[in-house]
Structure 1
């Protein structure tokens, strides 16, 4: 009997997320005794709010069985999330339309499975978060890159979407991130309204990634709202994805959520029960406390710290001698071209590898986010805090002077 080749499936052949390989190298260098400053992960250094950690300890110490929960999450957490939308955005959300997920990553898998057919075209901004592209590709969707540069503040526009649809065919969906990873740029209320109108007129589903809401810098963002604008303020047929990972610093708790159009609730419920059974139970019970006044106050304090570090970094860009940088209205990233500093290197990947080995500073090459222009850029995360950023900048200057 002839046996077929037992190779990995073609749809699984997506590029790895370079930041994960960099983190592995950081761990190896630290294990070997090297002092490494890591500015590559979008991971707040403070950890979860004290109220959340205390609740988690109470849950574990109670002795009660941590069993499976409903596939879309426990009722108290879904109710608390609904209250969050009333508090921040003045939007009334039925808890039945909230799906708690295993991180925002789990939300994107479920959302894309429920909303799009294999072969559907879905538009993404480039530069952008690579997992959108890779999840969609693995699910058999056609990813349509929308080249977004500084002239549109790295955000898609109706004109760019018209051009994409003209070149590739009708779009079934548009993924918007505001604040965006890696650039930190935001869509203003007027810009979001224009995208909502375009999607409605074109029959495209809007998927709004809002995981960095709350981490914004309105002093420099002009007309942008301090917390960010929720797509449901304009269109309750959009899919909204959010997470406890960024504003609340709960990356390893693997907990996110979605706001769902009514027609997708049943599909997401069935998919969630089959894919993961339920989100992590201890995280769910503890996360209810994320919506307490004490947790909001602590998280806002961290955001104020990010703002100070961001200002220090932006003020020092001239000394680094890099090229143009995204304005970083929100999130905790600086996405910048390396300019003349690339002269000794083939691209940003070589620059980042050499910097890590020589000076113990970990940055992410822009190729993770933009396969066309990313070889000229890097992403620096300032979530690690002021001391880490200042130490890293000093080492970068020494490296570039060598």
Structure 2
């Protein structure tokens, strides 16, 4: 049987790095994981205890497609707490992770062949999900001086049907302030470009609070998840917020693609929303880890990067050392026992000259990782 052209997507290289690191650990080597956006903490204790009790009741099954009403209502309250927004819970749709949110957003907003702008460097799965839906991903080549964020001019000149903006962003950790985000949203509206805001790293900010697109407009899609701030990557539960007149359309697509999000994950997420104290302690760990790498990476020779505003990544230019980031990362893994991610995932044109460090793990691991990297770079040629 033939395979469809639209299924011919690129691999997610960071997953290959994870597998190489796993094999090294299986062989008995101690690996420091700085390759993946996997919090070093589990789901909040409060949430874990809650789901244990619910599992004993054995009442799990299908939920309504849009998600548990109490979870949707609790998320709408979160927007009041975080952004002082009075959000109608009917606009909140629970998804199977943020990935489910992207699939539903693209399927609802765009017809086959339409053009969607994404920042480069940026999260690679945007591009591959768009391609799999027979849409055209348009890489916006962002610049270091703009903190690797798109500008209004990028929207004007690319003949777009939609644009997806992430703040804080992966892999750079950069954020848009309210003025910059407003300019992008207003420019999108002026040019009839659908606006999608990826806010999965909200809650993970270090010097100023991230701005939600919903603080500026209701005419957008917002996607978030319990994976990052809530430390629930493996639970695969997230949410999206859409205009009221789009809810039914998204619901119909979701009914057929997903039926409903996982019931157990929704229950756990509901409890996680009340674990603020524990979650904020996690953020303090990331903040400390960030400070360590901002101090130690330049000592190892890595000096060209934009200090991250949020998330838990630092995206570094290594062009003075190598123009083959994949081989460079393999060498670091083999010789230093540190797993890091080549930039090829994030930027198809310039990724061979960049790498991404994740500082989501324990501070002890970050200190050891920095020590190993400095030793490796001292003898690198």
Choose the corresponding residue for 2:4, options 9, 12, 25: 9
Cα separation, 2, equivalents of 1:126 and 1:37: 27
Correspondence for 1:217: 206
Matched, 1:394 2:376: no
RMSD value over aligned CA atoms? 1.1
Answer with 264-273 or 70-79: which moved more.
264-273
Deviation at 1:153, TM superposition (A): 1.1
Deviation at 1:31, TM superposition (A): 1.4
Cα separation, 2, equivalents of 1:286 and 1:395: 37
Correspondence for 1:133: 127
Cα separation, 2, equivalents of 1:171 and 1:392: 42
Number of aligned residue pairs: 379
Correspondence for 1:286: 268
Deviation at 1:148, TM superposition (A): 0.5
Cα separation, 1, equivalents of 2:2 and 2:362: 44
Superposition map of 1:67-82 within 5 A? 67-82=61-76
SS at match of 1:371: coil
Matched, 1:242 2:224: yes
Cα separation, 2, equivalents of 1:7 and 1:45: 42
Contact 1:322/1:341 (<8 A) preserved: no
Q: Which runs of 5+ in 2 are unaligned?
A: none
Matched, 1:28 2:26: no
Superposition map of 1:3-402 within 5 A? 6-62=1-57, 64-164=58-158, 170-218=159-207, 225-226=208-209, 228-292=210-274, 295-342=275-322, 346-402=323-379
TM-score (norm 2): 0.97
Deviation at 1:38, TM superposition (A): 1.1
Deviation at 1:264, TM superposition (A): 2.0
Deviation at 1:401, TM superposition (A): 2.9
Deviation at 1:7, TM superposition (A): 2.7
Cα separation, 2, equivalents of 1:122 and 1:300: 35
SS at match of 2:289: helix
Deviation at 1:400, TM superposition (A): 2.2
Contact 1:126/1:147 (<8 A) preserved: yes
